[in-house]
Amino acid sequence: MKIDVLPVIEKIKKEIKEHREKLNRKPKLISITDDYTGATKAYLKSQKRIAKEYDVDFEIIETENLIETIKKYNEDKNVDGIFVARPTKTIKFIEVAKILNPAKDVEGVTPYNMGMNFYGVEEFVPCTAESAVKILEQTEELKSKKVAVIGRSITVGKPLAIMLENYGRDCTVNILNSKTKNMQEITKNSDIVIVAIGKANYVNMDFLKEGTTVIDVGINVVDGKLTGDVSKEVEKYCSVTPVPGGVGSVTSAILMRNVFRAAIKGGKI
Amino acid sequence: MKIDVLPVIEKIKKEIKEHREKLNRKPKLISITDDYTGATKAYLKSQKRIAKEYDVDFEIIETENLIETIKKYNEDKNVDGIFVARPTKTIKFIEVAKILNPAKDVEGVTPYNMGMNFYGVEEFVPCTAESAVKILEQTEELKSKKVAVIGRSITVGKPLAIMLENYGRDCTVNILNSKTKNMQEITKNSDIVIVAIGKANYVNMDFLKEGTTVIDVGINVVDGKLTGDVSKEVEKYCSVTPVPGGVGSVTSAILMRNVFRAAIKGGKI
């Protein structure tokens, strides 16, 4: 069964609507890149389309000096949210994350915002991680559920695990990685499996028991088609988010909502 | 078998020695409290003794205005490290963590430093979490080990899980909490069990298979005696850190090392 994420997006849009009414102007998002080519170019073009859909002012800034450019926009009162495209080419991303203004960090990648997640504050957490969590919250009661997260990335697997452990959600979360032994045994013994590894069709029914809730975070291109980390056969036996039209769509909505949040907060953290 | 933590402390002392030689002065730690009574008083007195042992200048600051006091010492060039005693009485601890200068955050509780942990940077991570990790690194090869962390606290369970997931350690970490079902089944199936719940003698051999490495983070007082979260019988069948003289001793060494680190860095993050 495919999980329908539309109700999740509707809820986010409701929050956006409330912010918009208060704000009484278009918020502005800029996306900064030091490598406006290939996948980044395609990604930012789709971001432009999404910003239009959500009625967010949007501008792509190309630069060879990421740090100075970010510092400038950190202080620019006309810019509400700053997105920095990854991978960065001229400098390690962590150097970007360290200097980005947390109040404009709509993607939730600054150490400050990532650290707030430990404290249970999810104002700006990594959008994809939040997307998976929001979908799960809509899908089922999470308390005491056994969750396997495949993938330990900085912006998905790890923060996601912390969010699901936070009070109120109360999941028991097992974080699996490429060095994990007997992975299938663990995932088969889980109520929820989240897959965020970037390997097309990697997870099939060898990993799952029937009735598992599966969140597919993967976005891979196979023969020109977007393909998730979860094999198509799985939806016959499990509830699974589609790719495209699943986690990614919710992630986009969250990013745009965060631009409104940042605008409403007006630079305060 | 008891795990001997002395080699871990010796290694930390070696780093301290190197910093001391470079520094050529005593570093200064202040501990700020808005409730200098009971357990906090006892704790800060023991901190004073430890600071003396490590040749660190130490002062206890009592205040009714935590925020203003912290802001003052954030900027004071004569103070290298700031510790804020928990629980705080006049304000929620998170408000303290948010304004504390990360460069002086020797306990690793600011959102900034906690967030850096996701990026694999462990300059100032929560001392108790680092203590457990450093003991484990000395005890065995961690790669691919199945770890169960019992307890999901902000400064122990959660950051510890992230640290053990970080590249190079490559553990598979399951974070258990009070809502976890079949906890004993999970812990019995783990190579390493870390207990950080604050319940005296809670974990016994019903939770463990023979030969498990057990890290006891608990410090409870029972009949006037310090007692861990792990029952004494466990050391007959497993490798376990003693209480007292285990995780706590290493934690103290790490806190003092962090004061030297902060002094060396001179307020820069």
Instruction: Please check whether residue B133 is in contact with residue B160, taking contact to mean a CB–CB distance below 8 angstroms.
Output: yes
Q: How far is B164 from chain A (nearest CA, A)?
A: 10
Number of separate domains in chain B:
2
Whether B54 is in a domain gets the answer yes
Whether A146 is in a domain gets the answer yes
Whether B95 is in a domain gets the answer yes
At B220-265, the pLDDT tens digits run 999 999 999 999 999 999 999 999 999 999 999 999 999 999 999 9
Same domain for B140 and B36: no
Tokens of A118: 């430990």
Whether B257 is in a domain gets the answer no
Mean local confidence (pLDDT), B49-73? 98
Q: If you search the block for the tokens 């402390």, which residue do you land on? A: B9
Sign of the Cα torsion B105, A123, B89, B131 reads negative
ipTM of the complex: 0.96
Same domain for A131 and A103: no
Whether B255 is in a domain gets the answer no
Predicted confidence (pLDDT) at residue B269 exceeds the cutoff of 90: no
Predicted confidence (pLDDT) at residue B12 exceeds the cutoff of 90: yes
Divide the 269 residues of chain A into consecutive groups of 10 and give the mean pLDDT of each group.
98 97 96 96 96 98 98 97 97 97 98 98 98 97 98 97 97 98 98 97 98 97 95 98 97 98 89
Predicted confidence (pLDDT) at residue B267 exceeds the cutoff of 90: no
A169 and chain B: CB distance < 8 Å anywhere?
A: no
Whether A70 is in a domain gets the answer yes
Predicted confidence (pLDDT) at residue B266 exceeds the cutoff of 90: no
CATH number reported for the structural domain that contains residue B70 in this entry? 3.40.50.10860
Q: Which domain holds residue A56?
A: 23-108
**Count of A–B CB contacts within 8 Å?**
106
User: Mean pLDDT score of chain B, rounded to an integer?
Assistant: 97
A115 and chain B: CB distance < 8 Å anywhere?
A: yes
B165/A173 touch (CB, cutoff 8 Å), yes or no: no
Q: Which pLDDT value is given to residue B268? A: 81
DSSP classification of residue A228: -
At B15-51, the pLDDT tens digits run 999 999 999 899 999 999 999 999 999 999 999 999 9
Same domain for B80 and B38: yes
Mean local confidence (pLDDT), B135-145? 97
Same domain for A153 and A56: no
Same domain for B237 and B151: yes
Q: Which pLDDT value is given to residue B239? A: 98
Chain centroid offset of residue B188 CA: 25
Whether B190 is in a domain gets the answer yes
Helices (H), chain A: 6-23, 38-53, 66-75, 93-99, 111-118, 127-139, 157-165, 183-188, 247-265
Contacts of A99 in chain B (CB under 8 A): none
Q: State the DSSP H helix or E strand holding residue B238, giving kind and residue range, or none if neither.
A: none
* Residue A81 counted as an annotated binding residue: no
A181/B158 touch (CB, cutoff 8 Å), yes or no: no
Tokens of B113: 């430093």
